[in-house]
Chains A and B, each alone.
Chain A
Amino acid sequence: MAAGALGLPQPLGALRQRVRARMARWVRERQGEDQLPARLERRRLYILPTRGGVAFGTLLLVMLLAGLNYANSLALLLTFLLAAFVLVVMQQCHRNLLGVSVVALEAPAVFAQRPATLLVRLGNPDARARLALEAQLEGGERVRADLAAAASAQLALSLPPQRRGVVPLERVRISTAHPYALFRAWTWVHAPLELIVYPAPLGALPMPLHGAARGAARLRAGAGVDEWLGLRPFRDGDSPRQVDWKAYAREAPLLVKEYQAAAADLRVFDFARVALAGTEARLSQLARWVVDAEAGGEPYSLVLPQVTVPADRGPQHRHRCLALLARFEAGGATARSA
């Protein structure tokens, strides 16, 4: 793809890609895995002239030849001043990146066929501003941010829509061409990062009301006026109506009243019982149900051939279920092709 875009003949493009892969391996081996937050130190910064820099260098060469040929001192003085300027620029570019800290990398899970983003948080611990820091994924666009002194900024790198599965994000390039764009200093950040792509929530089958979940007797639940179970600490996503405000008023921690749900209200989504042909269609239908049940505030459980998630609700539960759907047969053909 790279070769095609550049209009290079195929063998050259292939060679380019081979060299690039080799370089990537070498860099990976050299730097090792990064533990965030990572401060960019000298050992891991690379710098090369940009196209503009090469053009500027050519211009300088022409100027040097003209100055020497005409034995013109002023032209030579100008040439050498600009040559020294280029060296200074190289150093300034390097300094613009040196010491930046990569605070966090985060790729929020998305549904298939939806645009995904990788969030890169960069921090500037120094007392000088750093302009035009850029982050980039392999083959992706560069996203740019300016960092004031002692500030941080979050860059959102957009990824193209993906198929269901787990997309490993091998490395992120943090670079800068500021100032002058004659040089580009960059580094690779390798973090164990993967993008979880849920199946697209599709399918119009009605949500099954009864499952084969007789054994799941003790369940934390939300709606309904059922049997009193006790108090438990507040979790994100709990309805304010279930909070024990009286206890809170007595300066107790935020507690939530728990009840046992009636078995009739359980939603059990079983992969084996989805009346659809094809794995992806079934997974999409399951995802649809999970999303709908969560939106409706109903507890639900998920049954997959190897694993069963007991009934629950809340964002964590939802993510757990959807992630299992995303990883379904993970490592198989579907995940890899993404």
Chain B
Amino acid sequence: MSGLAAPPPATQRGTAWACVALGGGLLLHVDRVPVWASLTCAALIAWRLLIAPRGRWLPGRVARAVLALGMAAVVLARFHTLNGLAAGTTLLILMAALKLLETRTLRDELVLTGAGLFLLLAACLDRQGLPRAPLYALQAWACCAAVAALATPTLPARAALALAARSLLLAAPLGLALFLFFPRLPGSFWAIPRGNVALTGLSESMTPGNISQLVADYSVAMRVQFEGPRPAGPLYWRGPVLHGFDGRTWRRSDSAFQARTALQFLGAPVRYRVALEPTHRRYWFALDTPAQSPAARVFLTYDYQLLSADPVNETARYQGVSYLQTRAAAALGTLSRREDTALPAAGNPRTRALAQALREQAGSDAALVEAALDYLRRGGFVYSLEPQPLGPDAVDDFLFRTHEGFCEHYAAAFVTLMRAAQLPAHVVTGYLGGEWNPIGEFLEVRQADAHAWAEVWLEGRGWTRIDPTAVVAPERLRRGVLELLPNAFSASERLLYQSAWLSGLLQRWEAASAWWSDHVVKFNYDSQLELLQRLGVRTPDARDLGWAFTAALLGWLGLVAWHFNRRIRQAARLDPLARAYLRLCRKLARAGATRPAHLGPLDYAQQVGRQRPDLAAAVQALCQQYARLRYGAAAPARAQVEEFARAVGRLRTARA
């Protein structure tokens, strides 16, 4: 029926609302789409609002078609596709702006508001940071208000905004429940192009220079919460363990199927929960020596690193159990010994000579280690983020010429020395330390905390961590890279991180951001199951989620029904006598004799008598009884009212 009527024409007011929705969508993307696209869209909005408010001075159909094709062509030329998020968003913004030039009907304005919502969706897909959340909420609000204003022409702007706010606030609890319980099965329906995903964090090999790149990266690598007190002392987060060395680059071992070195765990275990940011790589991080694999499809390798079968494409959450002290329970395997004492056939001759000299002086392996560290301590070595470039014999160059380097240089040089002295050693990469956030009570480990250290095999003790960087820059153990390297950050960043008040504020913000990231942005199937577990479901699965989802929906509907009923009950909060009389009226209405609002009980009885002669006598008696009780001289006794109510209950209205 509604289809018969022509759609209502566009109005100035409606166009203005459509512009609000579209403009809001544009603002969300203004720093992502090309400048010319933003300018075009803004210019078209301004034109529509200021120059052509009444729909005059607008381009004709041909001009619009040419414009549309031209814009699509420019987008295609710029992005080489119309498909990706950036290209699609740009195209949507341009086409919506063009649509603004031909808003003839209300429907066109609604389409533009829809475009505003779609741009909001694109923004959600694009960026999920906490600072953007209020912007997204504003845009959702503006779009809903625009729909309200378009739908009801007599609604003033302020009322439309108030209405939309009320509706959205009422919707929020249910929306949240749906969000929490809608089963999110992992995986996607169709492949997402992941062509240019930047790999961040530690790589699986180490060449001098690639850890120092990370120092400038202040983004979060992982967040850790401890069950129980935070362990004292420096925290080493173990990542890729590098065995192979070709004279320049250290690599992970290919012989992944060796037997794990038997260890005896000493002291109390440390239990902690990690939220590891996506790295698109396969390794996970653990504190010191992990005792077990934290998840299925994640392996604890022979050299005690956690290796996942799948790359970490979304935040990985796991519970780790680690020991800070271990002792070897068996001798080192031959394979491991061979692997961890291997050096290239040639190269770094001076290092080899130094190793021989140290070996001859030292009486034991422990003394050898100490002598090597002593060499670094006294050799005039400097901790620097921008060391001079190294020649082909990199370790020689570092140890005997430049004397300056970063953790990776020290670790590499130390392990080379040890191997040249026939002591099994390997490089371990990972993170050192992290910033404790007292508000969120978590440890925040950043990419800037990336570190490399060495492990050597000492008979009787097993793999022992040696951190040669600590010898050169002992402060590194207690403080972040920041304090050690004054030039690593710009002045404003330094100010931010060093002022107590600002860094307190920053920590608060980080805590909020972490909460947002953990509980909203990274909320996934695992988090849902965890939530169910906390709600008391023993072994939650997708079906339980379905139940919870249904329960949330039904609960909300029940709430609405209850709300309605309460209103109706309030309306009918009458004395028992009136309730009984209304019940009588309802009964008779069902029997086909509705009481017109103007009829009193006695007239009504007569009318019922005419309509249903079979009921006449009974209804007559009841109505007279009611009139007597209601309007009689004396207030009705309770028993009388109850008697009347029972009589109403006994009345049978079915036709004989």
Contacts and interface: CB of A to CB of B under 8 A. Distances in A.
A102 to B, nearest CB: 12
Contacts of A136: 1
Contacts of A178: 151-152
Given A32-B592, A70-B192, A91-B560, A78 B140 contact: yes
Residue among A68, A88, A89, A92 with max Cβ neighbours from chain B (10 Å):
A88
Contact of A179 (B117, B118, B151): B151
Nearest to A101: B597
A5 interface: yes
Contacts of B523: 73
Given A6-B3, A87-B171, A87-B556, A76 B184 contact: yes
Contacts of B186: 71
A196 interface: no
B259 to A, nearest CB: 37
Contacts of B107: 52
B144 interface: yes
A74 interface: yes
Given A59-B118, A72-B128, A78-B120, A131 B596 contact: no
B521 interface: yes
A140 B145 CA distance: 30
B5 A142 contact: yes
Nearest to A138: B1
B178 interface: yes
Contacts of B560: 91
B189 A139 contact: no
Given A35-B594, A85-B171, A88-B171, A131 B4 contact: no
**Residue among B175, B184, B521, B522 with most chain A CB within 10 A:** B175
A81 B137 CA distance: 10
B121 interface: yes
B121 A66 contact: yes
A55 interface: yes
Interface in B177-201: 178-179, 182, 184, 186, 188-190, 192
A292 interface: no
B114 interface: yes
Interface in B146-176: 147-148, 150-152, 154-155, 163, 167-168, 170-176
Interface in B609-646: none
A139 B1 CA distance: 7
Instruction: Label chain A's interface by main secondary structure.
Output: helix
A78 B151 contact: no
A114 B498 CA distance: 86
A142 B148 CA distance: 19
B152 A132 contact: yes
Contacts of A52: 107, 110, 147, 151
A255 B2 CA distance: 54
Contacts of B190: 69
A146 B170 CA distance: 24
A70 B168 contact: no
A64 to B, nearest CB: 9
B150 A74 contact: no
B151 A177 contact: yes
B310 interface: no
Interface string B56-82: 000000000000000000000000000
Nearest to A8: B3
A276 B449 CA distance: 110
Interface in B114-151: 114, 117-118, 120-121, 124-125, 128, 136, 140, 144, 147-148, 150-151
A35 B596 contact: yes
Contacts of B4: 2, 5-6, 139
Nearest to A91: B560
B353 interface: no
A80 B182 contact: yes
A83 B136 CA distance: 16
Contact of B189 (A55, A65, A87, A173): A65
Interface in A70-112: 70-85, 87-89, 91-92
Contacts of A59: 114, 117-118
B137 to A, nearest CB: 9
Contacts of A84: 171-175, 178, 556
Interface stretch (A159-167, A180-188, A241-249, A325-333): A180-188
B464 interface: no
B537 interface: no
B152 A131 contact: yes
A181 B160 CA distance: 13
A181 B121 contact: no
A51 interface: yes
B147 A182 contact: yes
Contact of B174 (A6, A63, A65, A87): A87
Interface string B1-13: 1111100000000
A80 B521 contact: no
B540 to A, nearest CB: 18
A337 interface: no
Contact of B188 (A71, A75, A179): A71
B178 A92 contact: no
A37 interface: yes
A181 B106 CA distance: 11
A180 B171 contact: no
A132 B148 CA distance: 12
Contacts of B522: 73
Contacts of B168: 81, 85
A18 to B, nearest CB: 15
B150 A181 contact: yes
Given A72-B128, A74-B124, A178-B151, A80 B178 contact: yes
A141 interface: yes
Contact of B154 (A51, A132, A184): A132
A76 B524 CA distance: 11
A10 interface: no
A74 B178 contact: no
A55 B144 CA distance: 14
Contacts of B120: 78
B172 A81 contact: yes
Contact of B155 (A73, A77, A131, A139): A131
Contact of B521 (A66, A73, A92): A73
Interface string A1-36: 010011000000000000000000000000010010
A63 B594 CA distance: 49
A71 to B, nearest CB: 6
B2 A184 contact: yes
Contact of A141 (B5, B128, B564): B5
Given A37-B597, A131-B155, A81 B140 contact: yes
A82 to B, nearest CB: 7
Contacts of B179: 73, 76-77, 80-81
Nearest to A181: B151
A29 B229 CA distance: 74
A50 interface: yes
18 contacts: A51-B3, A55-B114, A59-B118, A71-B184, A72-B128, A73-B520, A73-B523, A74-B128, A75-B121, A76-B182, A78-B120, A78-B136, A79-B121, A81-B176, A85-B144, A88-B167, A88-B171, A179-B151
**Leading 9 A-B pairs by shortest Cβ distance:** A181-B151, A81-B175, A84-B174, A84-B175, A84-B171, A80-B178, A85-B171, A74-B124, A75-B124
Interface of B: 1-5, 107, 110, 114, 117-118, 120-121, 124-125, 128, 136, 140, 144, 147-148, 150-152, 154-155, 163, 167-168, 170-176, 178-179, 182, 184, 186, 188-190, 192, 314, 520-524, 556, 560, 564, 592, 594, 596-597
Interface of A: 2, 5-6, 32, 35, 37, 42, 50-52, 55-56, 59, 63, 65-85, 87-89, 91-92, 131-132, 136, 139, 141-142, 146, 173, 177-182, 184
Given A52-B110, A81-B140, A181-B151, 9 more contacts: A52-B151, A63-B121, A66-B125, A73-B128, A73-B524, A139-B4, A177-B151, A180-B167, A184-B2
